[in-house]
Amino acid sequence: MTTRFNHVVDGSPVLKDGDFRRIQKFLYDLSGIHLAEAKRSLITSRLSGRLRELSLSSFREYFDVAMSPEGSSEGTLMVNALTTNETYFFREPEHFKFLQKLLTENKSKASWRIWSGASSSGEEIYTIAMVMADVFGLKRDWIVKGTDLSTKVLKMAAQGHYPLERNEGIAIERLKKYCLKGVSDQQGTFLIDPNLRQHCEFSQQNLMESCDRLGMFDVVFLRNVMIYFDGESKQRVLNNTLRQLKSGGYFLISHTESLMNTQHTLTQISPSIYRKD
């Protein structure tokens, strides 16, 4: 039996230089995300399944399909595949200790709005929500907004349904309060309690574009995002997100990131945590 896959390495079609540059330019023009040369293997692994599904023999053919007027849904799938990043509950826990202290010290504040600019599959959103519920309970006026470029991960996030092994990092007390363990055909999974999920909202947002429609926030998490941007795109994303942060609000980035060589009106109060003047 013959196959249309003529050029393969370890079972995957070869990503040629020209095709890599086309995909690289497309994603950069769309989102400002720069796919470095080291990301070739990631592109190959994440898109090879789509080539097989569509019976295509090259990345050039696939890109042409994804960019055609009839292939708009495939273009969305390609963006989803290339922008999905791994996350987990209570990642970089120092940030959530800071958040809990901030909320506790300002417990009399009538309402809170917190935004995660790259919510991925929702773990960061629900981590924030658990901390807020610890301080305010579930009847106070508070909202956690999660946005992402990928529609695929946003759908997963809104469902709040995860394999049981993903609960690592959630303290047992919080698991009991805010998570439901799957039984019967849902065994091996857990669900974020609907009472917590009702405080969480998800929508698609390209951070390279205006974020005004989202409203203003008291705290903004933008973690493990800016490492994917070059200097110009990083500044643009920073401007767009900081425009939605209230004066006196807090801006959190990952410990692996830096705001060096950017312009802003933030005051650093501890590593990776800033306050807007």
Catalytic (active-site) positions: 46, 148
Backbone angles phi, psi at 76, to 5 degrees: -65, -40
DSSP state, 122? S
In Å, how far from its chain's centre is CA 153? 8
- Residue 135 host element (H or E): helix 123-136
Q: What are phi and psi of 84, to 5 degrees?
A: -80, 125
Strand pairing category for 200-204 and 217-221: unpaired
Tokens matching residue 201? 């909202």
Distances (CA, A) of 80 to 14, 72, 151, 153: 21, 12, 7, 8
**Positive or negative CA dihedral for 173, 174, 180, 181?**
negative
